[in-house]
Every structure is written in C-alpha cells, then in structure tokens.
Amino acid sequence: MNVDPITSVVARNQCTGCGACAGAFPKFIRMVEDATHGQRPVVVQSKAGHLASQKAKAVCAGEGSDWHILPVRDEIDVAWGPVLKTWEGWAEDAEIRHLGSSGGAVTGLGLFALESGYAGGVVHVAACANDPRLNETVISHDRQGLMRGAGSRYGQASPVDALERIKRSDEKVVFVGKPCDVASITKAMHNDAELADKIALTIAIFCAGAPNLFATDALLKRLEVPKNATISDLRYRGKGWPGLMQATWTDEEGQEHKSRGLPYGAGWGGILQSHRRWRCRVCADHTGAFADISVGDPWHAPPTGDQDAGRSLIVARTMRGQAFAEAASHAGAIAVRVRARDVIARAQPNLSAANGAVWGRRVAMRALGLAAPQDRGQKLFAQWWALSGKQKIQSILGTWKRVVRHRLWRPTRVSDNTK
C-alpha cells in the first residue's frame, strides 16, 4: 500500500502537529506523543484510513497556507498579515492578569466571551491532569475551566483535534491556538460551512516554536526534579510577567515539593528553544495572520523583573476581532491602550529576523531536494532581502549544516512514547 498523504506530510518534516487531520477523521487518524518529533498523526493503514488521509489534506496547513485570502493594505500587512488595530493591555481581573503569561489577555477575552453569551465554550490547551508534562485539548465553559489553561504551555499541543467535538456541539466556541493551529482551522472553516458557523472567534498566541518532550524533561532536570517523582504541576510562565518556570512534585513517600524557579530567559533561551522541531524553524507565521485576534508579549517595553504586573500586545486581524476586543474593553474585561500598527516589529524583533530567514532556509532545502512549505501569496523574499548580508548567508549555509547534522533527508517516523 502506498504512503498516504498525511503520513507523507509527517515523513517530510512538514507536519505542525496541529491535530486537524485527527480532529476531522478521529476513527482513522490519531495523534501520538513522540518524544523527538512531537505530537504527530498516525493513520490507520487500511483503505478507509487512506481515504480519510486524502480528505484530511484539505485541512492541513503543514505544507503551506494561502495568504491571497488575507487583505493587505500596506507594508505592515505584508510583513505580519492583516493588522487593523493594536493595543497594549491586560485582563482587568487581577487573578487572571497575575496567572497569565503576560497580561492574561487571552483568558480575559475568553471569559468575556462566555459571560457575555458571545460563545458557549472556549477551545484551548491545558496540562494533562495525569501528566503535566503533556498537553490536552479542552473545551471550557466557565472561569474555572479557563484558569486551567492560563499561562504558557511550552510543549507540543494539538488543539485542532477538537474539530469533531466542535461540530457535534450545540454551541458556538472561541478557538485559541498557535498560529499554525489557527491556519489549519481556517482551512477547515473554508471547507465546511457548518464548522465555520460554530466558531465564533479565533485567537492566536504568538509563537516562536514548540519544543518537544525531551525539552520538557531537560527543563525538569534543570529544575532538579527527580526522575521518579510524580509531577502535579509544571508552569512555564505566569504568576507575574514573565514569571518563573517551576514544577510541583511528589516523592515516593508522598511528600509534596516545589522546585526552584528558573527565569524565563534561562529556561527558554538556555533549554527549550534548542529542541524546537524543524517545521517550526521554517514557519512563516509566528504571530497568527489568519486569526481574528492575536496576542503576544510587548517586549519593546520589557518587565523589570520576573514578577512585574503583566501586559499583552493585542492585535485585531479582522473586523470581527476588532469589534470583539473593543466590546471586551467597554465591558471592563480587559484594559487597553492603543498603539501604532507597526508595534509588532518593535515588540518582537526576534520574530522579524525569523520571518526574514525563512525564505533562505526554504530555498536551501529545495536546493538539497527536500520538500519545503509553500505559503502562497506571502512575500517572503522581501523580508529575506531586508536582512544583513551575514544573516542572508547564515539562513542558507546554516540550513545546509542542520540538514546534514540532523539527516533531514531521512523520512520521519513517529512512535507513541506515552504508552
């Protein structure tokens, strides 16, 4: 039997792990947690499984997205996707603001959607109850449920695996995910009017890449959590901006312990980012161009310590998103201060550089005969050309080195490491 399309996407390192294929065809495609490659789909090897895989390609953004569907007004939109309006803000609820990764804006917006009747549920990611190293997709209907997902989850997550649950639901939902997750669910909405009617709003969280399970275990080792410990909580951000990375665990005698706290920079820069998957390194959308609203850190005005009162950068991408954010502000759910539309480049200079490097990385991959994502309509060359000469060369030569070092020409095969 020939390799099916979804297995081929995984094999060629183009899968983002969003879970859309499994969400659309749960009987024939399931997500597994591979410690090296992250959450990836496994297709039932049968005639029905292959047919489901062929149909699932319509909702997969791993091989690329169509930026032609996005309205473009100026160079800001060319670089970041539609930017109608930007604010710096935070949740007015003090507890949500404190627990959130930055200002708690995503949780605040989600709670406003529930309490105002705008939506009956919020699809988001939370730590697995039986293993906080892992993530699971949940649909929350109240504040308590939302608080489970407050704060960043720097690990593999597949929130689009909720597609079938969303369609079966009697209520509209707000969908929260990474930019790649929102790109896939946007594809699904374009292909399914019934699904589109169920999703009241999409919110994307700025993302610099998703580390794998090895990264999480490396973090726990740095936090000095014993290998045989039972972990009850693992926080990557929050409880102040940006907050500390910290774990709570129980030893063999039943005694509960809290690890030391690791600053965000030491945890992300020193451990987690080196374990991002290759698909993340050739991603062309780190800020959620296809969402109604996207939210990230305003690093242009960084915190002075680990426990500062948080602030979020909030970007309205669509008229629906702008109207919702303004309604949330008028209702007192979030506090906002209008910022210039070009603030993303100043707030996220690392993502500007990452976007610029993508064209060179993808060209290098194709020159070596490897498949690379194709985001039709996105002007990546212009962003690459704006880099310094050294950065241009590094984007190509660095890719060739990584291809050789990691043997990226070999097909990726996944196994379930949680069994």
Structure confidence by residue, pLDDT tens digits, 167-222: 999 999 999 999 999 999 999 999 999 999 999 999 999 999 999 999 999 999 99
The whole-angstrom separation of Cα 240 and Cα 356 is 32
Q: What's the chain's average pLDDT?
A: 95
The whole-angstrom separation of Cα 11 and Cα 272 is 23
Residue 233 has pLDDT above 80, yes or no: yes
- H helices, E strands: number in the chain: 18, 16
* Beta strands at 173-177 and 199-205: parallel, antiparallel or unpaired: parallel
Structure confidence by residue, pLDDT tens digits, 305-322: 888 899 999 999 999 999
Residue 22 has pLDDT above 70, yes or no: yes
Structure confidence by residue, pLDDT tens digits, 145-168: 999 999 999 999 999 999 999 999
pLDDT score of 197? 97
Residue 107 has pLDDT above 80, yes or no: yes
pLDDT score of 352? 87
The whole-angstrom separation of Cα 326 and Cα 333 is 10
Residue 380 tokens, joined: 């990546």
pLDDT score of 1? 56
Rg over alpha carbons for the chain, rounded to the nearest Å, is 20
Residue 415 has pLDDT above 90, yes or no: no
The whole-angstrom separation of Cα 126 and Cα 128 is 6
